[in-house]
Structure 1
Amino acid sequence: LPLTYTRHFRNIWPTNATYVPWKQKSDKAIVWRGAPTDFNRYSHGGEERQRSRIGFVKALAARGHDVRFVKDAQYNLRRQQIDPSGALAATPMDRATLMRHKYVLSLEGNDVASGLKWLLAHNSVVVMPTPTRESWLMEGLLQPWVHYVPLDDPTEVQDRIAWMREHDDECAKIVANANAWMEQFRPVPGAADELTANEHVAAVLGFAAHGWSAAATQLDETPVQERAVCNGGRRKAAPHAPPAAHARQRAAIAHKRQAAL
């Protein structure tokens, strides 16, 4: 659901300040700036490490691409573990600077790649691993070589760069397809409420609110001693209520459900 509609969709569209004509963009390297937000995945080691955001940044930076972390709180917290020399950090790039390049990287972090929306709405080629998380953008329906150039393995980056340089017209078509995909998310003029951007969103939110209300009612009916408790990260059940209490509880819930119908 577009629960943060303004952040993800309202302020993503190109402006005169961020627009750079295709022929004026650099094709020297892939660019990216961001935070090391998936340290847990990186810390697993093995293939998970290689596929993580941190793993991608390390691999692409080592191959000469302008892919770096910004020195934010998350970077400072993890620097000694991921970048003790500081070589993987650089000054931030705003959208206008990133758009001077034809090939811009998008990487998932703790969840979806939040910058993917504005990247697809602009006029550079998005290079990224196949999405694994789904949001209102419908990432799972984006097609490689149609809406973006796939890069599931950072060791394949030079092959992707070579292909993009040799197929400039195809890259321009990929950009056009990405822009067309994003048009369905363009906000309706005058629509201000990000939670009710259209009637379909309002209907889904209303259905969810009804479910949450019913769940909250049931939780309020549940004796405290029946709720699961957390002990050292392991789930265990607390002592049960007497059978009579169970019966009264079930009867009360059934009555409320019948009344709701």
Structure 2
Amino acid sequence: MSRMIMNIKGLSSLMIPRVFFTNKLKNKLSLVQNLKPVELDNIKNRLNYYNNINDFFEVLPIKDIEYASLKDNLLKKTSYSFDFYKVSKYFSKDFKVNKFFYDCATEFKTTITKSRPINSSNVILKLDSRRHFCFLKDNIDFKNKLDLAVFRGACLQQNRIDFMNKFKDSNRLNLGNVIKSNGGGYLSKEEQLKYKFIISLEGWDVATNLKWIMSSNSIAITPRLKYETWFMEGRLIPNEHFLLIKDDFSDIFDVMDNALSNNDLVKNIIRNQNEYIKQFLDFKTEELIGILVLAKYFYFSNQLKLDNFIVDLFKN
């Protein structure tokens, strides 16, 4: 979705009176009563993964964090704001939140963010989805791809700079820095899918490309993951969902060679990664989980009363 279309859709949704949505909250929450046990378990599991608050608290100003009511800043033309409104519109405009709508590599308790360090307690919502949740249709079988690895990214962080410097002369890696001031290096996702391996390196927080790589028939190569988003990167298992390399990248060619000679490993990773993607493809489920994440936030901040069947979902 282009930024212009995103803005048009986002602004159009703001033209509908909020009361239209707040009156639907009870019906939205009641949907959980009609779910099959396995579906309910999955939603409960994800809800409490994104929001692991289990104690009552008061929403108060925090240094470096935006403290606002839901009615504030609705006209900010950002992917974060529009994605937040998709689920927050069902709640009272006077409800208060702490939020940090930028790349986030720091733990901020009781704060709504797009990303967080793995095993931290930020409350995660599906934000900046236009950029982060881009899944692809890949018609090229792994066996028909190039026996090489490709990387394209903005190389501003030290880990990416180090990687580029270390392998700039390698004939097994097609590398490019997409910052034009450094010479450019753009390569479309479709072109990158011609390679068996796509390198994924975290930046200010998560690596944006990991999600679309995992929707393909190529395999991601990455060091240990440190950050996560709505995609629950913390639940990905090395060498089951991606190929793990050392933090100093020193074993990358050994890892590639092992995969090229191990058909079972390749088949398992592609099957696992494609299966993992499926849980994010149902719009109604994604919306319901987002609403529940906020409902839990407002419940534990003493701003919202909920029926017991919803409160029971908050118990791990």
Whether TM exceeds 0.5 here: the answer is yes
Alignment map for 1:10-89 (pairs within 5 Å): 11-14=134-137, 18-27=138-147, 29-38=148-157, 42=158, 52-64=159-171, 65-72=173-180, 76=181, 79=182, 89=183
Once the two structures are TM-superposed, the CA of residue 141 in structure 1 deviates from its matched residue by 1.2
2: CA distance, partners of 1:58 / 1:68: 11
Once the two structures are TM-superposed, the CA of residue 99 in structure 1 deviates from its matched residue by 0.6
2: CA distance, partners of 1:197 / 1:148: 24
Structure 2 residue identity aligned to 1:202: I
Unaligned runs of 5+ residues in structure 1 are 43-51, 80-88, 215-261
Unaligned runs of 5+ residues in structure 2 are 1-124, 304-316
Structure-1 residue corresponding to 2:210: 116
Once the two structures are TM-superposed, the CA of residue 206 in structure 1 deviates from its matched residue by 3.9
Structure-2 residue corresponding to 1:222: none
Once the two structures are TM-superposed, the CA of residue 172 in structure 1 deviates from its matched residue by 2.4
Give the counterpart of 1:201 among 290, 307, 316.
290
TM-score, normalisation: structure 2: 0.51
**Percentage of identical aligned residues:** 28
Structure 1 residue identity aligned to 2:128: T
Find the structure with the greater CA-based Rg.
1
Alignment map for 1:39-188 (pairs within 5 Å): 42=158, 52-64=159-171, 65-72=173-180, 76=181, 79=182, 89=183, 91-152=185-246, 153-188=248-283
Distance 1:171 1:208, change over 3 A: same
TM-score, normalisation: structure 1: 0.61
Once the two structures are TM-superposed, the CA of residue 209 in structure 1 deviates from its matched residue by 6.0
2:280, 2:286 within 8 Å by CA — same for their partners in 1? no
1:60, 1:157 within 8 Å by CA — same for their partners in 2? no
Distance 1:212 1:97, change over 3 A: farther
* Structure with more of its chain in helix, by fraction: 1
Q: How many residues align?
A: 177
Structure-2 residue corresponding to 1:225: none
1:31, 1:104 within 8 Å by CA — same for their partners in 2? yes
1:112, 1:133 within 8 Å by CA — same for their partners in 2? yes
RMSD between aligned alpha carbons? 2.3
